[in-house]
Structure 1
Amino acid sequence: MTDGSDIEERRGVQSIDFVGHLLEALVKANGAITLKRLSDETGVPAAKLHRYLTSLIRIGLASQRQNDARYDLGPLAIRLGLAALGRRDVIGFAENALNAVLDRHGLTGHLSVWSDNGPVIVRTHHGGRPLVTSLGLGRVLPVTRSATGLVFLAYLPPNATRELAELETAGPEDQEKIRQAVEETREHGIGFVDGTIIPGLAALSAPVFDFDGSLACVVTATGMAGAFGPDGASGAIARELTAAAELGRG
């Protein structure tokens, strides 16, 4: 039998629920907002909103401009946001999302970050029977011949990758092939290679972006040649990997 205290606990504190709804409206406004518009957006009478906003301003979660009386997020809200960003584990989120795809399809994969020597593997996972490869923790991958490297070439600033890419480039014809591969990577939002590092091994890689739009890491699924179907970078697994990379932002 459920007593009254259990019911009350599940209900939570309604005033706090309402504050969350109000703060969300301030976030979505993308700037200072009038009381009337805030009332229209939330469906809450202006008089009630004003009472809550007064308290939120007092504790720093909201603010009110002096010149036009519009409301916005306050200094405490900004500090909370910055603290939350600082505690995000982008690599952890991305790893979990990647592993779910690998487990679903019985694939092997890894997560890489950029280093002074190029892409380096910092996480690995076997979603099925492990592939016997040299793609282990700490392995530095080629910039121009790996799916991971193509993603870094496509989304990092050119001055970060140019020197390493030039070391791997044989001549003008090779440069053109790399340029086309990078363009295709941007077009599909995913890197794809088949047998360029290890014969018979194919790989798909997707970029994981941080909230500021910078490239945080790259997630990669590997399998035997043909494992990703005839469509490669535009196939079903590629779409799942892209979705996982998006989830990796947390």
Structure 2
Amino acid sequence: MEENKKHTQIQSLLVGFSIIDRIAKNGSPMKFNDIHSDTKIAKSNLYKYLNTLTNLGILYRDKENGYYSLGSTLIQYGMAAINQEDLISKVTPFLHEINMKLKETTLLTVWTTNGPMIVKMIHSHLGLNLGGQVGTILPISSAAGKIFATFMQHPSTKSWIKEELSKLDEKTQKQLTIEFEKIKKDNISFANEALAPNISSCAIPIFNFEKELLGSIIVVGFEKSIPHTVENELSQYLLRKGKEISAIFGFKE
């Protein structure tokens, strides 16, 4: 009898989390019909689940197009789980400062077992959607992905790197390996079209007093507006900001 109790599960919770899981893994907002097609949940029941999850803030429904994405409550739970609230509050003013300087979308990412995840976003002055949102997991080919592949010391990092590299051809794998060595020396990374066509990004690391990677700040925009070399004046500005932010967490060169 006791053994049966241990395996008893609430079916409605399993269904609700299957919806959340599908939207999270999709990587971009989903419309009702796509969720229905993927989950095979009866439309009448799916409406109820989506309304409940939206009211709780677990999901967010865009009023203009009706698309569903992860909501603020779920993201707050995630941040509590990985204990990054303090990081976000301390880094946010710098995100705004960098955003004002470069006038491009500025992001903060932290490590999760699935890879680097966007946890804070300050949009560009033009309000453009550049291929990511809060909750998006970034690939190893992105500027942030390269930072984490280079500096992150975590048991899950090696398996993530192995899995991500397996998706790429041999030539690209070799190029990334060479690039990781340069990033280790320069403390800045660059990427082209990792999130969307004609979109570039650059990223800097945030370290603590033990030079452990806490997160990464990324600037994303159209190719012409984003620096591509460490010598660029904007790259040097970002490197100075990276040192300033890391100093708050006790980092000293």
Structure 1 length-normalised TM: 0.59
**Pairing partner for 1:163 from 152, 159, 164:** 159
Specify which structure has the bigger relative contact order, considering alpha-carbon pairs within 8 angstroms and separated by 6 or more residues: 1
Q: Post-superposition, which runs of at least 4 consecutive aligned residues in structure 1 deviate over 4 A?
A: none
Q: Secondary structure at the match of 1:221?
A: strand
Is the Cα–Cα contact under 8 Å of residues 108 and 125 in structure 1 kept in the other structure? yes
Match of 2:245 in 1: 248
1:110 Cα offset (Å): 0.6
Match of 1:148 in 2: 144
Q: 1:160 to 1:242 in 2, by over 3 A?
A: farther
Question: How many residue pairs align between the two structures?
Answer: 162
Q: 1:116 to 1:158 in 2, by over 3 A?
A: closer
What is the CA–CA distance in structure 1 between the aligned matches of 2:231 and 2:90, rounded to whole Å? 24
Is the Cα–Cα contact under 8 Å of residues 122 and 137 in structure 1 kept in the other structure? yes
1:222 Cα offset (Å): 0.8
**Pairing partner for 2:89 from 76, 89, 92:** 92
Is the Cα–Cα contact under 8 Å of residues 107 and 217 in structure 2 kept in the other structure? yes
Match of 2:217 in 1: 219
Match of 1:206 in 2: 204
What is the CA–CA distance in structure 2 between the aligned matches of 1:199 and 1:234, rounded to whole Å? 25
Please provide the CA RMSD for this pair: 2.2
Match of 1:14 in 2: none
Bigger CA radius of gyration: 1
**Pairing partner for 2:178 from 161, 177, 180:** 180
Q: Output one character per residue of 1:124-169: Cα deviation in whole Å (capped at 9) or x when no partner.
A: 00241122223100000002x1000100111112754221222222
Q: Secondary structure at the match of 2:230?
A: helix
What is the CA–CA distance in structure 2 between the aligned matches of 1:131 and 1:181, rounded to whole Å? 29
- After TM superposition, the structure 1 = structure 2 runs for residues 183-198 of structure 1, keeping only pairs within 5 Å, are 183-198=181-196
What is the CA–CA distance in structure 1 between the aligned matches of 2:91 and 2:144, rounded to whole Å? 14
1:171 Cα offset (Å): 4.7
Amino acid of the residue matched to residue 227 of structure 1? S
1:207 Cα offset (Å): 0.3
Q: Is 1:131–2:140 an aligned residue pair?
A: no
What is the CA–CA distance in structure 1 between the aligned matches of 2:93 and 2:148, rounded to whole Å? 21
What is the CA–CA distance in structure 1 between the aligned matches of 2:129 and 2:182, rounded to whole Å? 29
Is the Cα–Cα contact under 8 Å of residues 97 and 247 in structure 1 kept in the other structure? no
What is the CA–CA distance in structure 1 between the aligned matches of 2:158 and 2:88, rounded to whole Å? 25
Identity level (%): 21
Q: Output one character per residue of 1:161-184: Cα deviation in whole Å (capped at 9) or x when no partner.
A: 221222222354332111012112
Match of 2:72 in 1: none
Is the Cα–Cα contact under 8 Å of residues 130 and 220 in structure 2 kept in the other structure? no
Q: Output one character per residue of 1:172-201: Cα deviation in whole Å (capped at 9) or x when no partner.
A: 433211101211212221010122331110
1:97 Cα offset (Å): 1.4
